[in-house]
Structure 1
Amino acid sequence: MSAPLLDVAGLSAAYGRAQVLFGLSLDVRPGEVVALIGRNGAGKTTTLKAIMGLIPASAERLAFKGQSIAGLSTYRIARLGLGYVPEDRRIFTDLTVEENLEVGRQAGQTGRSPWTPERLFRLFPNLAEMRGRRGNQMSGGEQQMLTIARTLMGNPDAILLDEPSEGIAPVIVQTMAEAVLAMKAEGVAVLLSEQNWAFAGAIADRACVIERGEMRFQGSMAEFLGNEALRAETLGV
C-alpha cells in the first residue's frame, strides 16, 4: 500500500472560543477518494479549511507529500500541489470560462499529463459549449464545474472538494461524479465533504463520518453503506 499523500492526526480547530474540531485523524492516498460525511454543522467544511490553512488550527501531524504543512500560508500549501474547491465556488464572475481556466494554470510537479482547457472541456462538455460566457451568466452547477476545472488547471496532486453536489441539478451531479472518477484515474487524491451519502457512495473508496467535530466512523465505503444504523444516527436517514 502506498504512503498517504495527505496525513492528518489530532486536528483541532476553533472559531474564537467555540471549539469545532476535536482531534480528527484521517489520511488520503494517491488515486484514492475519501468522503468526509456528516450533517450540516458537523465540521466538514472546517476540516477542509483547517487543512488548507484558511483558519487557525493545531495538529499532532499535518503533512502533505511527507512535508509538514502546519502553519503554512494557504498559497504555499497550494503551490505544493494541494487544490481546494470551496462550496461557495468563488469564480471570477466578470471573466469568461476560458479566462477563468487560464487564471488557474500552473505547472504540475509530477509526471502526469497536464490538464489543459481542451482536456477539461472533454471532461465537462457543458463548459465547452460556453467557453466564451462570463461567470455571472452561468448557473450554480455550471459555476461549480468551472471551479473544479479551474482547480485542475493547477495540476494538483490532491484536491479538497467541499460539498460538490450541494444545490445543483441531478444531471450536473452525474457530471461531477464522472469528474471525480476521472481525477482518481489520473492518480489525483480527493478528499470530499458531503452530506449526500448516495453521491459519496458512488465515487468514494472510504468514508469518514464526522459528528459534532469528532470522528465517529472510518472504514470502507461498502462498510458505511451497509450500516443503516450509523446512517440513521449521524445523518438522520
Structure 2
Amino acid sequence: MNLTRSFALVLALGLAPAAFAEQHSTEQTTDQATEQAKAPAVVEMTLGAPDAAVEIVEYASFTCSHCAAFHGDQFKKLKAEFIDTGKVHFTYRDVYFDRVGLWASMLARCETPRFFGVSDLIYSKQRDWLSGNDPVLLAENLRKLGKVAGLSEEKIDACMQDGDKAKALVDWFEANAKADDIDSTPSLIINGTKYSNMAYPKLKEIIEKELGN
C-alpha cells in the first residue's frame, strides 16, 4: 500500500466514534488545552535480543492487506528462525493511512506485554473486522477483538478514547516515516537499509548476509 495521502486529518479523526460526543461536549480553557497537548511518549514495540547482530524495523499498517499477509507468513518464519534465536532484534512501527488503522494501533497498545499477541489477532482477523465502511461498526469490531484477546471493556474504552495517546502516536508515526523515507507498507529497515515487501527466501538471504553467513 502506498503512502499517497496527507495525514493531517488522521489526528482530527483519531478517536473512536464513541469518544466524539464526549470529546466535543465541553469547552476547554487554554490551560487545559495546553496540558492535553503534552502527549505521552510512545513505547517502541520490540522482540529479540537488543544486542543482536541484525536490527530489523518493520513499518506496517493494520489496514494494509499486504501487511496482514506478511504477518501471516514471513513474520512467523522470521520470528522462529532469527528473532527467537537471538540473531535479530525486531521493532514494529505503525503507519496510519486512516483513522481505523490508528484505532487498531491504540487497541493493540492497550497493554504493552500483549502487543504482539493482540496485533497478531488483528492481522489474522483483518478481513472480518475491516469489512464495511461504517466507522461505528469498525470500532465495535475492534472492541470485540480486544475482548477476545482478554482485555476488559473498561480497558478497551480507555485505550481507544485516549486523545493524548492518539496525538502522540500520529506525531511519532510522522517523524519516523519522514526520517526513514517510508512510502509503502510493509517496508523493512535492515541494519539501516530500506527494503520493500519480499518473499521469505529473499528476506532470509539478506539476513544471512548481514550475519556473515
Question: Which of 1 and 2 has higher RCO (CA within 8 Å, sep 6+)?
Answer: 2
TM-score greater than 0.5 by the shorter chain = no
TM-score, length of structure 2 as denominator length: 0.27
TM-score, length of structure 1 as denominator length: 0.25
Q: Larger % of strand: which?
A: 1
